[in-house]
Structure formats: C-alpha cells, structure tokens
Chains A and B, each alone.
Chain A
Amino acid sequence: MNNLLWLVPTLPLLGALLLGLFGAVLPAWCTALIGTASVGIAAIIASSIGIHWYGNAPASHVFVQDLWSWIDLPHLSIGLSLYLDPVSLLMMLVITTVGFLIHLFSTEYMAGDEGYSRYFVYLNLFVAAMLLLVLASDLLVMFVGWEGVGVCSYLLVGFWFHKPANGYAARKSFVVTRIADIAMLVGILLLAVKLGTLSIQPMLARAVEVWPHGDVWPSLAAGLLLIGGLGKSAQVPFQTWLPDAMAGPTPVSALIHAATMVTAGVYLIVRTHVLFLLAPDVLMAISIGAAITLLLAALAALVQSDIKRVLAYSTISQIGYMFLAVGVGAWSAAMFHFLTHAVFKALLFLSAGAIAMRLHHEQNIFKMGGLRNKIPLAFWSFLIGSASLAALPVVSAGSFSKEMILGSVWFDPTIGPLLWGAGLLGALITATYISRVVFLVFFGPVRTEVSGRYGVRIAVPLIVLAAGSMLVGWLETPGFLGGNRMVTVLLRPAVGAVGIHPAMDILADASGYIAPLLGVAIAFTLYRSGYWQRAATAQPNALRRLMHSGFGFDAVYDVILVRPFMALVRGLRNDPVDLVITGISVLAIRLHRALRRSQVGQVRRYAGWVMVGSIATVAILVFA
C-alpha cells in the first residue's frame, strides 16, 4: 500500500498538466471531472495509506520512497524522496481530503467563470506542490514545494486579474513571502554548509552531534528557518499580506489561505523540531511572537466589516495559537490544532462563499442579516464552523485542540502562565468577533434579498466539513471526556511524547472553557444593544481605525520600506551606473561629429593639412 505513495502528489500534478494543455478545448464538465478526480483519487490513496498505517505502521514509523537523485555533488547529494511519517501522514490526509472537498465545492462555485479550466490548473498545481512540501525528505526539495505553493497562491490571489487591486494584492502576497523565503534559503544554505547534508533526518541527527544545546549556530539556522515560516504563515511581522490575499476566489482562501499553505510554517518547525530544541531562545521568541500575533489579529478581526477579512484575521490568530504551541514544544498540540483548524476554517470560508453566492457576491456583513431562515444550510454550517473557531466546549473540535494548547502552555516553565493568559484572552476575543459575525449575518432584519439555490456539489462539502468540525476533536480528548489520545499516540514516534501533561489546575482548566462562552455572551449583549450596528455607521475613532487597518503595519511598511524602495527604483530608472558606458559612446559620437567637418572633399584643403602635419612632425623630430 505504501508503495503507492508517489501517486499522491503525482496525480494532482498530472491533472494540472492535462488541464493546462487541453483545458481550452475541454468542456466544463470534463474540466471539473479531471480537476476534482485527480485530487479525489489522491485522497483515496492517501486515506488507504492512512488506514493501512494505523494497524501496520513500519517498525520505525517511517516510510521512505526514493524516486530519483536530483543533485549529486561530491559533498552534497540531494535525492527526490518521499518521507512518510506520522506528521507528514497527517498533513497529507488533511491536504488531500479537505482539498478534494474544496475542489468539489469549486466546480459549482466557479461555474460559468471564463477562467474555469485555468482555475483548476492552478488549484491542482497547488495541491501537488503542497504535497511535495509535506512529503519531501530533503529540505531543498521541500523548498521547491514551498516556492511552488507560493507561486500558486500568487496566481490564485490574482485570479481575477482584470481588477488592478487584485493584481496588487497578489504581488503583495508574493513579495512579502518572498522576503521571508530569502531568509529561509539562507538558513538552508547555512545548514548545508555546516552539516553537509540537507536530508532532514540525517541533518537533524548531525546537528545534535556537532552543536551543543543553546549554541549560536543552531539559533541562527533555526531563526532563519523561522523567518521563512513566519512569512508563509502570515505571522507578525509578515502578516500584512494575508488580509489582502482575500482578493482571490473564496474556495482558494479556504484551501490556501486557511487550511493548508499558511500552516506550512508550523509544519516546517515541527518537521525540524530537533533543531529548534537546540535553540531555546528561538523557541522563546516564537511563543512571544505568537502571543502578540494572536492578540493583534483577534483585535483586528473585531472591527472588520468584510466577512472574508474577519476570517483572514482569525486565520492569522489561529495560526498564532499553533505557533504558541510550537514555542513551548507542544508539537502534537500544534498539529492537532492544525487538523481541527483546517476543517473548521475551510468550512467557514466555504460557508462565507456559499452566502456570497446567494447575495450577488456581497461580502459586507452589515449588508447581510436575517439569513438564518433564508439559507439554513449556510447558516448551520457557518454556525458549526463558528462554534469550532470560538472553541465552544464539547460540541466543537476547536475546543479540544485549543484546550490542549492552553494546557501545554500553562506548564511551560519560563513564562507559561503569561502566555496562557494571552491565549485565554485571545480565546475570549475570538468567540466575540465570530459571534458578532454570526449575529449580524444571520439574525435581525433581512437587508439583501437572496437568490438562486445550492446544488449538491455545494451541499456535500459543507455537510462533510460541518460533521468534521464537530467530530474530529474527539480524536484527542481531555481526561474527563474519556482521555482519548489518538493524535498524540499517532505523532509520538515522530515528535516524542512532549505535550502530555497532568491535568491543570481545575480553575485554570475551567476558565479555558468559560472564556469562549463569555465571549459569545459579550457579543450577544452588544448585538442586542445595537452597538455593533451603530459602530459600523459612526465615524470611527483613532483606535478603531488603527484596529481596522490591522494596527497600521501596512502604513509603517509603506514609509520605511516601500517608499524608499520606490525612490530607489525611480533613481535607478535611467541607469546611472551605465553613465560611464553610455558616456564613452556619447564622447565618440561628439568626436565623430567634430571630425566629419574636416571632410570637405577639396584637394587644396587636404594639402594644407598634409603641410600642417609635416611641419608638426618635423618640429617634433627637431625639438623633442
């Protein structure tokens, strides 16, 4: 069964290739079939591998499939091999399954778009690149997938490129992540130079051998890799690109900017966690940065009026939780939150897309309202997704994973309680901002009339993901709910048993459950009193404007980075460096113009010049 692993990334790639070559001539149903089936079959194979793995995992809990050798140098050889261990298995399952559901949703959502086949080319290519990223056994191969998903993200954010704003958003997302990727590439090269190999497992083993705990080299390498991860995962200070990336089609936001690509940073750190354990300072920085990120993004989400921007900020915030878990070494908690987040955030985005479909692509929550009875399917799916995002206890998957993270953070010996407090506050705000959206969109008077109806290809992904959002949490439950530990047990061979702690202080534990309920209550009170509606129409004060702009990072970057760079560009536009070269040619032309005046065609004049030349020659011979 495991030997079919190579098919998992190959099938979507094949789909992209087929659609790319023949998409223009194929009918739409054929495009949809190829696009969806390639990922669907990959999902079936991945699931079979997963089921097979559950009973008959290899003794080492690792399966490596060597495909071919890519680069073979005397001191460095890089092979294209697929590395399957519990972590990449989990990632692969989520990518293919959620990816398939989103493809299915897209076939109806994008119907009638003139770029229908182009859309599926990009989406399939993205899935292939993402699978290469998670399955690569070599850091450089992983980097290929890493850049591949970046390109696909760029192409899909700017999918409707006729609108200049979309092209701008696409370029912004590409450039910001590229800046971070340069740091990552430097880190990879540093590891290659210092450790002599880029194959992840031997590299990590060698790092432990040659570098003492807390040395400067592992800190530098881990820090550089971390910057790449922060960029891809839209964490402070690189988070500015994600809200703008919502310019892409909504299923793209669900797949790339919520479920899979943006969690690549978390995966990268979990994959190389041995290296990060050698660098405690970097881990500390991760958790502090994550706490800041999750609070800032949650506060920004509180005042957005575009439903997709709320979800974008909540994605930043939720990935902040994953980084928080990573920062305290709770690898399995981070991966578990990745799993639940992928399911419920994909559900939320798809529901938002489904709502927009029926409202003439309206995304402003203040122009929606009363949709509860009009579109019950979207209502229930969005409600379930919101409950999971808000981490309502027991009924939602998000609750279990968030509890697991908060529990691990609490036991961090250094600044654990502080981080725990930030996480708890974040949970409160999260529940508030998502409940605000639910109340404003689904309750109250109807503001925009609905039109159309859903087909089965919209309904099935929503229902499946909604079921998942309620149920995947039961894979890993706290002690008083059965103490099921499937995720931890699955991941233990890859990341060790860190993250399992005794039960917390009962008060701390309970507050983790009460905070979301309190958040919902706050949102409900403010909704009843009409505060949200008034705040949307009132002139915003300075604090509100600051929060709405995502705390002014864009403005700051504009002043310190974009403008100086553009000034430099304007200065260099006329090639000042070339002045030396062009100067020579200009001089030659000037001399030419001066000398051609002497070309008069009169013999007498030439004879005069001969005389002058002769006299000069004689004079030189005599006097020199």
Chain B
Amino acid sequence: MVDLSWQVPTALASVLFIIGLLGLLARRSLVFVLMSIEIMLNAVALLFVTAGMRWGSPDGQIMFIFVINLAGAEIALGLILLLRLRTRLTTLDSDAANLLRDVQV
C-alpha cells in the first residue's frame, strides 16, 4: 500500500494554485481577481504545511502564519485599490484600467 499522506495534499495544492491562476488570467472583475490571488496564496500555504509534515519540521507551520499575515495585508491593500478604482472608473473591469498602455502613434 503506497503511503499517500503527503502526495494528496501536494496535488490538492497544485490544483488549487492552477485554479487560482486560471481565475486570475480569465476573470475581468477585480473582486474575482483578488479572490483568485487568495486561492493561490492558500495553495502555497497548504504546500508549506504539507512539506513541514513530510520532513517533520515546524518551519512549514511558521511559514503558514507568515503567508496568512501576508494575505491579510494584501487583501487590505487590494480592496483599497479596488475601491479607488471603482470611484475613478465606475467599473470593476480590470481591462478598463489600461492607461499605461503603449499609444501607437
């Protein structure tokens, strides 16, 4: 019987990361973009915890705390930007915020 104690969470983390990434690339609404980033962060956090379990080290759980903190800070900043963008452009479409594009002359 093959021991799948760390393979399953690793696969889950990979699936979550790809779901988040695809969401980030595919969704235009900024709320969903922020949510996709959260999913990707959680996938990484899960990978840390799984790695800590695999090698019997507490470092993975410490990193998880860091990632959660980072996610909290990120979501706070992200929501502020989102609100500013909403008042400026009256939309949540990220593609509309393209003022830095190259202007063909």
Give me the interface of A with B, judged by CB distance under 8 Å: 596-597, 599-604, 607-608, 611
Contacts and interface: CB of A to CB of B under 8 A. Distances in A.
Interface in B71-105: 94-95, 97-102, 104
Contacts of A596: 102, 104
B24 A599 contact: no
A607 B25 contact: yes
Contacts of B94: 602-604
SS class, residues of chain A in contact with chain B: helix
A600 B102 contact: yes
A97 to B, nearest CB: 74
Interface residues of B, number: 15
Contact of B98 (A597, A600, A611): A600
B100 A601 contact: yes
Contacts of B28: 604
Nearest to A600: B101
Contacts of A597: 102
A601 B101 contact: yes
Nearest to A595: B102
Contacts, number: 34
A288 B8 CA distance: 109
Contacts of B99: 601
Contact of A602 (B21, B24, B26, B101): B101
Contacts of A604: 24-26, 28, 33, 94-95
B52 to A, nearest CB: 22
Contacts of B24: 604, 607
Contacts of B33: 603-604
A607 B26 CA distance: 11
A602 B102 contact: no
A603 B97 contact: yes
A611 B21 CA distance: 9
Interface in B18-64: 21, 24-26, 28, 33
Contacts of B26: 604
Contacts of B98: 600-602
29 contacts: A596-B102, A596-B104, A597-B102, A599-B100, A599-B101, A599-B102, A600-B98, A600-B101, A601-B97, A601-B98, A601-B99, A601-B100, A601-B102, A602-B94, A602-B95, A602-B98, A602-B101, A603-B94, A603-B97, A604-B24, A604-B25, A604-B26, A604-B28, A604-B94, A604-B95, A607-B25, A608-B25, A611-B21, A611-B25
B86 to A, nearest CB: 15
B30 to A, nearest CB: 9
A599 B101 CA distance: 5
A331 B94 CA distance: 100
Contacts of B97: 601, 603
Nearest to B95: A602
A600 B26 CA distance: 16
Nearest to B101: A601
A276 to B, nearest CB: 72
Nearest to B99: A601
B26 to A, nearest CB: 8
A72 to B, nearest CB: 61
Closest 3 CB pairs of A and B: A601-B101, A601-B98, A599-B102
B11 to A, nearest CB: 18
Of B26, B33, B97, B101, most A-chain CB atoms within 10 Å: B101
A602 to B, nearest CB: 5
Contacts of A599: 100-102
Contacts of A607: 24-25
A601 to B, nearest CB: 3
B31 to A, nearest CB: 14
A256 B79 CA distance: 94
A602 B93 CA distance: 10
B60 to A, nearest CB: 21
Contacts of A611: 21, 25
Contacts of A600: 98, 101-102
A608 to B, nearest CB: 6
Nearest to B28: A604
A603 B25 CA distance: 9
Given A599-B101, A611-B21, 9 more contacts: A597-B102, A600-B98, A600-B102, A601-B97, A601-B100, A601-B102, A604-B26, A604-B95, A607-B24
